[in-house]
Each structure stands twice: as structure tokens, then as C-alpha cells.
A and B are shown apart, each in its own frame.
Chain A
């Protein structure tokens, strides 16, 4: 895996802090000798509400796709509750184009563990579950080793660091369902049910795991917490884009010379990331299209990228979103109909089947797109596709429906000519027969 930009000269300013340039950090003694678990010590001297305030002021926003302010989410947890409170750390990482959390499990697992314990203390949580996709068994074992070491050192368990605070951390292994990355189906999955999303409200902070107050945070989000505690909210809020600050792990894949995960401050220009960090499109080809934040985010045209930056606000005004920051680059030779057919097949396969618009609509869109692929589409099919996508969007219990609709809507909006060319070619083919 590449972590180093292809052309380092311009990019030397940023010193990696989530995945530092250090191959030994997964060893607990080394992590401690580099200042690890000092944030935990510091946090346990603070009042829980002071930690929540610190995270709030830092402006840390979730790295799992929705960019929700983390401190605000934590403040929704009831202070006084008769029921136990839970934290779920979401490491399901199943969004196509996303491969960042895996780097944390492998290269800096104790940062994630330290963040998890601090979050537990801040919210009064006595049991945290780290949910990781089943395919990542190798990384589950790496993280489990780190957790075992942290138990041995007394950072997890009873009376942590001699204080009146105890919490446990358990890894829960998923089993190959994209939908379980959605927070409410993640909770159902932990409860031993089929991973169906729940209707909200009630929100997890009122009624989550086993009907108790629960917070769900992405693994990368949680890994930012020790940095904020160590260095203070002011320091953190000045990194990168002010409305979406901090270090961010950006995955770049597709037709690119130097694919990999790059850590940088938020708000770097998309073109700089593609051309300088990731070495530009393969064989110096022109870029036809870019998916900026994992396959659910709206696709952008190659000529729309100028001035667009990797932060929530900039991508929002460009008509897309930062999502899980998994950039997929497609060069001028890419057949976008193949791309959208494959993406739609994914959502069809992963729809849990609970809501009719998503269950039937993803299948229907996939069948129509197969017609485009096979040169059997007619001109009405373009608007039919849009009509189905528009009827899925906003009409389902969870965001998987939207995630299936947005790529279709945006690809037709930005590349309608490709679909029209294909329907004309289809008509010619039929006339030829």
C-alpha cells in the first residue's frame, strides 16, 4: 500500500499523525514511548462534559460519510440514565473505493483504542463494540492483539489507571453485508438479528443497542479524539478547512499512477490530490470522471474539478459530497455505462430488501442498465432510469436507497450524451438486424 505521495517535494509540510511514518506503532510499548495513552491520562483528569466540550469546539466531523459534528453527537447522550450506555465504533468499511480504516487497524490500532476509551469516559459508556467487516479477519486479529495488550496494561477493564472508571471493548465481526455499515443495522447485527435498518426516530442516543442510549462513530473519527485531547481544540480546529477541519485519510484508486491512502489536512484541492499525491492518471490520459467520496457520492466530470477541494463544504457546492473520501479516478477510455451498471449491481446485491423502492428499484435500474450495456436500450430508457432513481431517493428507511439513486442521477446529469449515443447505437443495431 502506498502512503507516500508520488512527488514528495511539494507535500513535505504535512507530518502524518493518524498513520505516522512508523512501522512499530502497533506495539504497545513503542506506542507508549511515543507519547501514546497520554491523552487517556489527561482525559481521565478532566470532567466528562469538558471532553465533550473540547471535541465540540474542535469542530471534528464524522469521517464515515455524513460529516456529522462528533461533539454534538456525543452531547445527545443522556447524562443520567438508568440504562447502560453503549458505544459502537464503525469499522465496517464497505463503501466501494474506501480502504482507510483498515490502515488504522494495521498501523496505529492503539490510537483507535485510546480514542475509544476516551469516548467511553466522556459519555459514561461501560461497554464499547468495534464492528469490523468479516472480510477483514486479518486486521481483526491485529486489532484484537492490540486490545489484549491494552487490557494487560490496564488501559481497558476495571478501574482504568486507578480511577473510578471501568469499560470493556469487544470486537464484533460482521459477515459480508454492506448494509451493516448503516448505524441502525449495525446495531441490529450486534444484537444477533438480520441487519435491517431501523426507522428513526428514535435516534440511537435515546434508543440504540438493546433499547439503551448508544453512540455510533466511525473508526477514523474516533482516532482523531486523542489528538484533540493532547493538543487542544484550538490546535485541531486550525488544521485544514475551518468548517471541516483535521487530518483526513484519503483513498485514491482507479486509473491512477500511485494509488493508495494519503493522510493530509482537509480542504486540499482535488486536482492536487489526483495529480501530485497520487501521481496523475495512468499513461498521462485525460480524466473523464471522478467519484470523490466512495461509490455512493455524485460523480463529477473531469472538467468540473478545478477549484474543488476535499472538504464537506467545497464538495457540497460542487454538487457532490466528501463521503468516505474514497476518490475513484476514471480516464478518457472508461466506459461509464459499464461503471454505473457495476455500481448499480452492487446496490441491488446489497439492498436488504426491507423497503420496496430500494428492493425493486435497484433491480429495475440494473436491468435497464444491462440493456444499455448490451446495446438494447431505447431513448425512453434514459428518463425511465431517472424516474426510478427519483422515486427511490428519500423514500426508504435508510440511506442505501439514496446511495443507489445518486450515482445514477448524477451520471445521467453529467454524461447524458453517452447514454444518448448508446441508445442511437442500439437503434442502429436493431435496424441492422
Chain B
């Protein structure tokens, strides 16, 4: 369920687009921000809110990498491993994180504290290697900086 504030935002957004389908992505972003992920229940809710078949919502959710269908750990660490980061040592950063957190890329720790993922280029090539936790970018990484970050997020 969207919060009252978000419902108001949806009403405002309706003025910006000629169709209700265009609201699918903005509404899904609101749901994900509220709940942390998009459950089947939420998809049904979005379908009824916008009066769109639920299959269409599912089609959108499954197309986009950033829309999550499962809960992630409290801290979702995404390490860019694309070329520019790779040339500046992203493999070592990933290896260190796997050791430090005791999980492999793609896994969530049993205590639900950490999720570690390999990510595609996030547009931070001039400050490589980098990782992101949520909206926050951590750039020009070293092993020491990664350790400090883990301590901070713990």
C-alpha cells in the first residue's frame, strides 16, 4: 500500500503523462522505496491502483535489474566489475568483500545484514574502482576504505 504522501504524488504525476501505464515505473519505485522490494502482493496492488492487468506489472518488474522481487540484506553492496573498474582492481575489492562478509557475490548473509552483488558499469569510471550501497556511491576504493565502510555499516 502506498503512503498517503505517495498517493498524492501519484495524483500529481497523472497530470504529467497521457496514459496510466506510464505511471507503472514511478509507482514501482515508490513501492520499492517503502517496502525494500516488490512482492507479488504489491504487484497486485499496483495493478488495481492503476487498473492495469497484473501480468503487465510483472512484465515490467522482471525486465529491470534494479527492481527487486526478493528482500535483500540490510546493506546491499553492489561492486562494479565492468572494464574501467576491472582495470583498476575491482576483482580484489570483490574478493576482499567476499572474505570479509563470508558470502559470495549474489548471496545474502544468514543474518540478513548483507547482500553482495556484482554490478554493471554505474558511471563512475573516472573514480574506479567503486561500489554502491543503495543510492550512495563509494569511489576510488582501496582495501582500507572498504574495511572502514564495513565498520561504518555494521
B and A form one assembly: yes
Task: Report whether B123 and A328 are in contact in the complex, using a CB–CB cutoff of 8 Å.
Answer: no
Task: Report whether A99 and B123 are in contact in the complex, using a CB–CB cutoff of 8 Å.
Answer: yes
Residues of B within 8 A of A293 (CB): none
Chain B: how many interface residues by the 8 Å CB criterion?
A: 43
Residues of A within 8 A of B65 (CB): 175-177
Complex interface residues of chain A between 287 and 306 (CB less than 8 A to chain B): 291, 295
Task: Report whether A255 and B87 are in contact in the complex, using a CB–CB cutoff of 8 Å.
Answer: yes
Complex Cα distance, B73 from A154, in Å, reads 44
Complex Cα distance, B82 from A342, in Å, reads 7
Provided the pairs A96-B84, A192-B22 are in contact, do residues A253 and B125 lie with their beta carbons within 8 angstroms?
yes
A429 within 8 A of partner (CB):
no
Q: What size tier do the contact residues of chain A reach?
A: 35 or more
Stretch among B98-106, B129-137, B146-154 lining the A interface: B129-137
- Interface of A, secondary structure class, is mixed
B110 within 8 A of partner (CB):
no
What's the least CB distance linking B20 to chain A, in Å? 8
A282 and chain B: residue at smallest CB distance: B88
Of B13, B126, B135, the contact of A99 (CB 8 Å cutoff): B126
B35 within 8 A of partner (CB):
no
A195 within 8 A of partner (CB):
yes
Complex Cα distance, B124 from A251, in Å, reads 10
What's the least CB distance linking A3 to chain B, in Å? 10
A247 within 8 A of partner (CB):
no
Complex Cα distance, B83 from A259, in Å, reads 14
Complex Cα distance, B89 from A254, in Å, reads 10
Task: Report whether A102 and B123 are in contact in the complex, using a CB–CB cutoff of 8 Å.
Answer: yes
B120 and chain A: residue at smallest CB distance: A346
Of A127, A338, A350, the contact of B86 (CB 8 Å cutoff): A338
Mark A1-14 against chain B: 1 for CB-CB distance below 8 A, else 0: 11000000000000
Complex interface residues of chain A between 260 and 288 (CB less than 8 A to chain B): 260-261
Task: Report whether A253 and B126 are in contact in the complex, using a CB–CB cutoff of 8 Å.
Answer: yes
Stretch among A32-40, A133-141, A398-406 lining the B interface: A133-141
Residues of B within 8 A of A326 (CB): 125
Task: Report whether A99 and B22 are in contact in the complex, using a CB–CB cutoff of 8 Å.
Answer: no
Complex Cα distance, B139 from A102, in Å, reads 14
What's the least CB distance linking B45 to chain A, in Å? 16
Residues of A within 8 A of B70 (CB): none
- Can you list 17 A-B contacts with CB-CB less than 8 angstroms, sorted by A residue number? A94-B121, A96-B125, A102-B123, A133-B123, A134-B29, A135-B132, A168-B16, A173-B29, A175-B29, A177-B64, A192-B24, A194-B60, A253-B128, A254-B125, A339-B83, A342-B83, A349-B120
**B positions within 8 Å CB-CB of A:** 13, 16-26, 28-29, 52, 56, 59-60, 63-67, 81-84, 86-88, 120-128, 132, 135-137
